[in-house]
């Protein structure tokens, strides 16, 4: 089985975007905020939004199931207050649940959290529980910088996050460490802010003792781990100089990078320097980079092709990247897939 661990609903129905636009326009006028009931999206509209995009590409590229979450850029936790974020997150998660209900063989849900700058992550526990227990989601997206590029939140290793981690461990779900839109003009969203955040998160983990306190906590750092693989020697050296554990020991059963790296040399580097057991297949289609690479004639985000052609990868390595590692990183996934298979039988 080929499991894509990083998919976002980037082709969402127009009325969801209309609803959000209206919410943002009245962000300082609570009485004028749109009601949840004012959102009108039919099942056929959801089908239409997926059939010519994610589902079509799944079939063409030979992937089986996508771990699916709301649009990352759309989370925009810096907009409004906690109540704005909560309502928006609930609507987005309910939309993902509808997608997974309509296409149970193709999508498995991961939730957006109602984070807000300066508000304790404890406030997200209720929505995480709802999505896992009621909707059957297998993880969440955790924004290390709800301020949108100003980095006002404590490091991920700070005790500020601990109650939320306790709930993650209790529910046995991982978090993908994924920022949202940048409101800082110095940082382009997908080109700088995303990669900065991936790199920053990894350095925070190197310098902290998070996994001593939470030995079963699981975190996925997307986009190939940001700048880390290219600078693997730098981070190995920094870990040694600061008397921290070796990188492979620190990552082991706690940290994974995904394969949202959009060229063959990048994937070759990733799979050469990062432990194979800590790499998850992902494409982020249809996402950050759309269209064909003029040098190859292939879509930039057709990352399965890069794994298929990665230099030096054995068949057993590819099986780990495509399937085995995801079952370790997402403990609820195995039962979810087993239940789907039983339903088909």
Reference 10, options 54, 61, 55, 76; nearest CA is: 54
48 has catalytic annotation: no
**Separation of alpha carbons 108 and 68, rounded Å:** 6
**Which single residue is written with the structure tokens 């975190």?**
219
**Separation of alpha carbons 332 and 67, rounded Å:** 12
Reference 140, options 117, 118, 161; nearest CA is: 161
**Separation of alpha carbons 113 and 264, rounded Å:** 33
Task: Provide the 3-class DSSP secondary structure of residue 112.
Answer: strand
Element (H, E) at 221: strand 219-221
According to DSSP H, which parts of the chain are helical? 14-25, 43-51, 54-61, 72-75, 82-102, 125-133, 162-171, 194-207, 210-213, 232-241, 247-251, 264-273, 303-308, 315-319, 325-329, 333-344
**Separation of alpha carbons 41 and 38, rounded Å:** 10
From 12, 127, 284, 323, active-site residue: 284
CB atoms within 10 A of CB 259: 28
Catalytic residues: 284
């Amino acid at each position: 089985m080929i499991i894509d661990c990083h998919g976002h609903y980037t082709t969402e129905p127009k009325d969801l975007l209309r609803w959000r636009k209206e919410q943002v326009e009245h962000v300082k006028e609570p009485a004028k905020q749109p009601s949840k009931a004012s959102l009108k999206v039919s099942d056929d509209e959801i089908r239409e939004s997926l059939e010519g995009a994610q589902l079509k590409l799944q079939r063409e590229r030979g992937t089986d199931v996508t771990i699916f979450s709301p649009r990352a850029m759309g989370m925009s936790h810096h907009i409004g207050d906690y109540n704005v974020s909560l309502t928006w997150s609930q609507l987005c998660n309910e939309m993902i649940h509808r997608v997974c209900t309509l296409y149970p063989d193709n999508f498995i849900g991961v939730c957006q959290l109602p984070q807000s700058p300066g508000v304790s992550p404890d406030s997200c526990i209720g929505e995480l529980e709802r999505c896992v227990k009621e909707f059957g989601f297998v993880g969440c997206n955790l924004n290390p910088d709800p301020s949108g590029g100003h980095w006002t939140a404590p490091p991920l290793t700070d005790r500020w996050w601990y109650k939320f981690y306790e709930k993650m461990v209790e529910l046995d779900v991982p978090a993908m460490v994924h920022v949202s839109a940048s409101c800082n003009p110095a940082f382009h969203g997908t080109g700088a802010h995303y990669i900065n955040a991936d790199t920053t998160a990894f350095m925070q983990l190197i310098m902290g003792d998070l996994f001593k306190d939470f030995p079963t906590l699981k975190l996925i750092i997307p986009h190939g781990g940001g700048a880390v693989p290219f600078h693997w020697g730098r981070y190995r050296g920094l870990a040694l100089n600061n008397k921290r554990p070796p990188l492979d020991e620190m990552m082991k059963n706690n940290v994974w990078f995904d394969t949202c790296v959009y060229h063959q040399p990048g994937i070759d580097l990733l799979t050469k320097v990062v432990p194979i057991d800590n790499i998850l297949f992902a494409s982020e289609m249809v996402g950050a980079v759309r269209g064909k690479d003029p040098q190859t004639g292939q879509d930039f985000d057709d990352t399965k092709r890069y794994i298929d052609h990665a230099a030096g990868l054995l068949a057993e390595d590819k099986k780990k990247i495509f399937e085995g590692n995801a079952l370790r990183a997402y403990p609820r996934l195995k039962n979810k897939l087993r239940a789907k298979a039983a339903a088909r039988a």
